[in-house]
Amino acid sequence: MTRPRAASQRFVAQLPTRVRSRVEVIYSPILEIKPLPVKIDTSGVRGLILTSANAVNAAVSLGVSRHLPAFCVGPATTGTAKGAGWEATMVGATAEELVAFLLKHRPESPLLHLRGEHTRGNIALRLTESGLTVREQAVYQQRLLPLTPEATAAADGLLPVIAPLFSPRTARQFADIWTGSAPLWLAAISQATADPLYSLDYARLKIAKEPTPKKMQKAVKKLVKHAMRVEGNETTD
């Protein structure tokens, strides 16, 4: 599992018991999330845009007001925001869907997009250019990490390795650091995440039908089934 430990454990816990019983789970985060030591000015802001659970967690640690409505991408971000006390609304499964929703419904602005240092989509710029004033502020950093010794050993082994990738940046990092000879089975949460992986020598690449945890779980489930059928062996994840 390549996500930060807590997110990886949540994902694994939601897999069917039969799938978990057939693999050895290896946690090897290749991205570390840390809140930035910044002050957030919400004066005049009429709502928040939250596009990741990491942004929600950083906002909590930075003391951002819970009285602002939050427009969120995806069920995980929305659930995390609601759990933290925000009046959160899921307005799409992707940044594109969020932009379309906000331009159609045009809530009171200005809005504030809380994001990581590295982000895609230019949400604030695109919305502002379309007449909906949106500011943005980076509230967490994403530091790339190497594979753990345990993951490196699995990569150099004989058993098939199933690697779920959840963002284009982590996919690029994985493609850069993977040097293993083990049979490689990949699951990507989106086409943009899959693109950096085509340079790898893999047995199979499965792209989730939608960029959601539920669809990624289905992709991993299918990979486990196919890998075990082909290899006739225990797999590592």
pLDDT tens string 176-205? 999 999 999 999 999 999 999 999 999 999
Residue 167 has pLDDT above 70, yes or no: yes
User: What pLDDT is recorded for position 227?
Assistant: 83
d(CA 3, CA 67): 30
pLDDT surpassing 60 at residue 233? no
Is CATH 3.40.50.80 the classification given to domain 39-142? no
Task: State whether the Cα torsion 198-199-200-203 is positive or negative.
Answer: positive
Q: What is the value of pTM for the model shown?
A: 0.81
Structure tokens belonging to residue 95: 């940044």
* More reliable by pLDDT, 195 or 120: 195
Q: How confident is the model at residue 212 (pLDDT cuts 50, 70, 90)?
A: confident
Same fold, 5-31+144-236 and 39-142: yes
**For the residues 138-161, what does the mean pLDDT come to?**
95
- Domain boundaries 5-31+144-236, corresponding CATH code: 3.40.50
pLDDT band, residue 231 (cuts 50/70/90): low
Percentage of residues of the chain with pLDDT beyond 70: 98
Least confident segment among 33-37, 179-183, 233-237: 233-237
Residue range 114-123: average pLDDT?
A: 87
Q: What is the CA angle 21-23-26, rounded to 5?
A: 120
Residue with the bigger pLDDT between 142 and 48: it is: 48
The pLDDT assigned to 213 comes to: 86
- List the structure tokens of 18: 């039969």
Q: Which of 48-62, 82-96, 112-126 comes out lowest in average pLDDT?
A: 112-126
Asked if residue 125 has pLDDT above 80, the reply is yes
Closest CA to 184 of 166, 203, 170: 203
Domain boundaries, the chain: 5-31+144-236, 39-142
The chain-wide mean pLDDT, for the chain, equals 93
- 10 Å CB burial of residue 156 (0-12, 13-18, 19+) is exposed
pLDDT at 119: 79
